[in-house]
Chain A
Amino acid sequence: MKVSLFITCLVDQLFPEVGMSVVSVLRGLGAEVDFPADQTCCGQPAFNSGFSSEARDLAKRFIAIFENSEYVVAPSGSCTSMVRVFYPELFRDDPDWHKRAESLASRTYEFTEFVVNVLGVEDVGAAYHGKVALHQSCHLLRELNVRTEPQRLLRSVKGIELVELERAEACCGFGGLFSIKYPHISGSILQDKLDSVEKSGAAVVVASDVGCLMHIAGGLSRQAAAATTMHIAELLAKK
């Protein structure tokens, strides 16, 4: 099984340890992992801002880099959604590129759904002692329909104490550029999530998307809260 790692720009440049964890977990499950070094960004920021033409250019570049891969796996629900859900839409009026986009989309997965649904594994042999709560990122949940896979992986972690996060499915308020365009609203929505975290007693908040995590971490840190954040791949790589 050959997996090409779609690292995503935020993981590449801000949270490289997440990428290392993904590689470690996938290799531990017997997959061969390669990293197409020419990759940059999937184009989602341009797409979400309405700049479809720029998004299309980046999409074409991305497709050309990854289209010969057997599987493409990303540690991000939102970046995976961009490729799987929105690339085909971007090329709605271009039959050739649409076909190429659909072909790539069919082989592109978010990390937790890949492990559970493609590799068929729920216990990756991880061990972590601590109170952990899961925040369910919106794109993963509502664009990709990945509803239970992260929990199933977490439940198998030896020593973990999984605590319920109230309103775990509620948006954290990140929303990409929304977080800086409307910071007052973004921060206000975040407060509810921070209150849920505090109420849950979790020491660590885990999610599939570093966008959500850096936004939540940013709030926890500013408010000097005790809880910290971790990408689910990092937790699953712990032994």
Chain B
Amino acid sequence: MLLTLMHVNSESFIQDSTVAVQNKTLQTRLRVLTGFTTKRNLLFAELPDGEALRDRAREIKEETIGNLDSYLTQLEENVVRLGGTVHWARTGKEARAIVLELARRNNVKRVVKAKSMVTEEIELNEALEQAGIEAVETDLGEYIVQLAHEKPSHILAPAVHKSKRDISELFADKLGVANLKEAEEMTVVARKRLREKFLTADMGITGANFGVAETGTIVLVENEGNIRLSTSLPRIHVALMGIEKLVPSLDDLAVFLKILARSASGQKMSSYVSLITGARRAGEADGADEFHLIILDNGRSRILADEEMRESLYCLRCGACLNVCPVYQKIGGHAYGSVYSGPIGSIITPAFAGLEKSKDLPFASTLCGACREICPVRIDIPRILLKLRSDWAEGKHDNAGPPLLEKVAIKLWAFAMRHRIIYNLVFRVPAFLQGPLLEDGKLKRLPFALGGWTQNRDFPALARRSFRSMWGDEK
């Protein structure tokens, strides 16, 4: 019985995506993401060894993911040696409990949070709020979605779905500051509010972009400086990290730092790169008094065990695949019903939440391959989508599988395709009968399951004579 490790709303994918494609504001907003891709392409073209870096990055991930047990042990030893505490969480539930215990023990009333997909995955904010602890998102985009009581809609740009007007109205409603028109004005208001939170927070919670096993270092990249403030002002810093975020050494880290920001936002480097190694030692000026690293499994070791899914653990969470995906570009992140959306979300959401609850995600793709082409570590997302489709069709992992009608239809279709004469009849009979249905030589309405096509397109008439019939003439 598959344990559902992440809550999703992916069952309403069809309804949600239908609404999304008609949402003009969303459509306009999503177009800004192509800017990331344009910049990314320029920067990679400038690198003398961009492709080699991607190959090397993938190699490093293959090595690391293939030997996670020893690298995780090494990381723990080093973090502890340097004054940090390491906690192991098998599930999101355990991770939440660890955070709450740390908060309780230290009388934490206010938490400042950096943007962290893993904390969204385990719904940490909800748990903190239920325990009466104020958890403030400090990344501007996350701050906005938090005010709006929404989930992030993009791995990198959580509020990309919101227009300036949306945000202005939100700030008027939730912060009591009305008539803000420009982005700069709104940013200044947010900055002022957040400053106060930074200065009075008891605990800072972050994720981790990388964990360096050789030195016990947690690496965090950002553009706003909120992570710097979250990890140095509060007394306690808690970092949550998925087991797959390791790299063996600082030299390996260098490879990733070259390609991460380039892939994510089309920058050579993000504005701040923080390497946090253990807790603040005696005599040091910067850093939290206490450093806690929570290493999270939550279904990752299950993905690890699956040879075909394993490479999805190489993901750097850069968001590039979302930016190039023709489907994501039209439906945005919320329609996926998961904090992990887009191509990478379509493969890991079923792994975390079960295929049953997210069965549309592997199918809602044209398999165009743009994601694989741009992925910095070359994850073969189309292949994995096909594998998940196969898992669905075969009812693997206790999923219900396709409805009986679909199974029968495919079997009938396959039978027809195995017999040339029947195959031919399948087309020739409708070709013979289609006459009265044609308007201007086209079909404007197709029956049954095919009707989706003619909602917004005409369908060509079947040829009066098939190629094989015309070839017969030649001889």
Q: Which of A131-180 contact B (CB under 8 A)?
A: 138-139, 141-143, 170-171, 173-176, 178-180
**Which residues from B are CB-within-8-Å of A214?**
459-460
Q: How far is the CA of A138 from the CA of B366 in the complex (A)?
A: 9
With A13-B463, A49-B410, A183-B452 as contacts: A58 and B418 at CB distance below 8 Å? yes
A183-224 vs B, Cβ < 8 Å mask (1 yes, 0 no): 111111110100000000000000000000011011101100
Q: Are B369 and A190 in contact (CB under 8 A)?
A: no
Is there an interface contact between A20 and B470, defined as CB atoms closer than 8 Å? yes
**Contact B17–A185 (Cβ < 8 Å):** yes
B369 to chain A, nearest CB (A): 4
Contact A38 B420 (CB under 8 A): yes
A48 to B362, CA, bound (A): 10
In the complex where A14-B460, A184-B18, A218-B453 touch, is A54 in contact with B363 (Cβ < 8 A)?
Answer: no
- Evaluate whether A189 and B386 lie within 8 angstroms (CB atoms) in the complex, with A58-B414, A182-B17 already known: no
B389–A16 touching, CB < 8 Å: no
A38 and B17 CA atoms in complex are apart in Å by 42
Partner of A50 from the list B389, B431, B463, B471 (CB cut-off 8 Å) is B389
Contacting residues, chain B, for A1 (C-beta < 8 A): none
Complex: A172 Cα to B449 Cα, angstroms: 21
Within 8 A of A (CB), among B330-382: 330-331, 363-370, 372-373
Determine the chain A residues whose CB is within 8 A of the CB of B386 once the complex forms. 47-48, 50
A188: which B residues are within 8 A, CB to CB?
21, 330
- Interface on chain B toward A: helix, strand, loop, or mixed SS? helix
23 A-B residue pairings within 8 Å (CB atoms): A9-B427, A16-B463, A19-B471, A20-B470, A35-B468, A35-B471, A40-B417, A40-B418, A43-B414, A49-B393, A50-B389, A50-B391, A51-B390, A51-B414, A138-B366, A138-B367, A142-B369, A142-B370, A171-B326, A176-B366, A185-B331, A218-B453, A218-B460
Are B410's CB and A51's CB within 8 A?
yes
Are A16 and B390 also in contact (CB < 8 A) when A46-B414, A142-B370, A175-B368 are? no
Q: Is the CB of A57 within 8 A of B414?
A: yes
Within 8 Å by CB of B463, from A15, A61, A175, A185, lies A15
Q: Are B427 and A178 in contact (CB under 8 A)?
A: no
> How many A residues have CB within 8 A of the partner chain?
61
In the bound complex, how far is the Cα of B394 from the Cα of A16, in angstroms? 35
In the assembled complex, B82 has its CB within 8 A of some CB on chain A: no
Chain B: interface residue total (CB-CB under 8 A) = 63
Q: CB-nearest residue of chain B relative to A42?
A: B417
B456 interface hit (Cβ, 8 Å)? yes
In the complex, the chain B residue whose C-beta lies closest to that of A86 is: B386
Which B residues touch A141, using CB under 8 A? 369
Give bound CA distance, A11 to B330, whole Å.
Answer: 30
A41: interface (CB < 8 Å): yes
A21 to chain B, nearest CB (A): 11
**CB nearest neighbor in A for B470:** A16
Task: Name B450-474 residues within 8 Å CB distance of A.
Answer: 450-453, 455-463, 465-471
B interface vs A, CB < 8 Å? Answer: 14, 17-18, 21, 326-327, 329-331, 363-370, 372-373, 386, 388-394, 402, 410-411, 413-414, 417-420, 423, 427-428, 431, 440, 442, 449-453, 455-463, 465-471
Query: Are A183 and B453 closer than 8 Å at their CB atoms?
Result: yes
Contact indicator A13/B449 (Cβ below 8 Å): no
Find out whether the CB atom of A178 lies under 8 angstroms from the CB atom of B364.
Answer: yes
From known contacts A40-B418, A173-B366, A179-B452, infer whether A16 and B465 are also in contact, taking CB-CB under 8 Å. yes
User: Considering only CB atoms, which chain B residue lies closest to A215 in the complex?
Assistant: B457
- B427 lies within 8 A of A13 (CB): yes
Q: How far is the CA of A175 from the CA of B411 in the complex (A)?
A: 21
What does the 1/0 interface line of A2-26 toward B look like (CB < 8 Å)?
Answer: 0000010101111110011000000
C-alpha spacing A14/B441, complex, angstroms:
13
In the assembled complex, A103 has its CB within 8 A of some CB on chain B: no
Closest to A167 in B: B34
CA distance A37 to B468 in the complex (A): 7
Kindly state whether residue A69 has any CB partner on chain B within 8 Å.
no
> Is A13 a contact partner of B431 (Cβ separation < 8 A)?
yes
| Interfacial chain A residues near B394, Cβ < 8 Å | 50, 52
User: Taking CB as reference atom, which chain B residue is nearest A181?
Assistant: B363
Q: What are the 8 tightest A-B residue pairs by CB atom distance, in nearest-first order?
A: A175-B366, A218-B457, A50-B393, A50-B389, A183-B452, A142-B369, A16-B467, A187-B456
Q: A13-B462, A16-B467, A52-B393 are in contact. Are A178 and B366 (CB under 8 A)?
A: yes
Contact partner of A12 among B331, B366, B468, CB < 8 A?
A: B468
Tell me the nearest residue of chain B to A177, going by C-beta. B363
Residues of A within 8 A of B390 (CB): 50-52
A56 CB, nearest partner CB in chain B, Å:
10
Given known pairs A171-B326, A184-B17, the reply for A57 and B368 (CB within 8 Å) is no
Partner of B363, one of A178, A186, A187, A222: A178
Does A125 count as interface, using CB distance less than 8 angstroms? no
Q: Are A171 and B366 in contact (CB under 8 A)?
A: yes
| Alpha-carbon separation in the docked complex, A89 to B419 (Å) | 24
Closest to A189 in B: B326
Shortest B45–chain A CB gap in Å is 15
Measured in the bound complex, the distance between the Cα atoms of B373 and A139 in whole Å is: 12
B467→A11 contact, CB < 8 A: yes
> Is A37 a contact partner of B463 (Cβ separation < 8 A)?
no
Known: A19-B471, A173-B366. 12 other contacts (CB 8 A): A7-B468, A13-B431, A16-B466, A40-B420, A50-B394, A54-B411, A182-B14, A184-B21, A185-B17, A185-B327, A187-B21, A190-B456
**Chain A stretch 54-78: residues in CB contact (< 8 A) with chain B:** 54, 57-58, 61
Residue of B nearest to A219 (CB): B457
* B368/A142 in contact, CB under 8 A: yes
Which residue of B is nearest A170, CB measured? B326
List the B residue with the shortest CB-CB distance to A54.
B414
In the complex, the answer to whether B420 meets A179 with C-beta atoms within 8 Å is no
Task: Take A49-B393, A179-B452 as given contacts and tell me if A58 and B417 are in contact as well, using a CB distance cutoff of 8 Å.
Answer: yes
- Closest chain B residue, CB of each to CB of A15: B463
Bound CA–CA A185/B364 (angstroms) = 9
Which residues of chain A are near B428, meaning CB under 8 Å? 13
User: Which of A35, A39, A171, A217 has most B Cβ within 10 Å?
Assistant: A171
Contact A49 B389 (CB under 8 A): yes
Q: In the complex, which residues of chain A have a beta carbon less than 8 angstroms from the beta carbon of B388?
A: 50
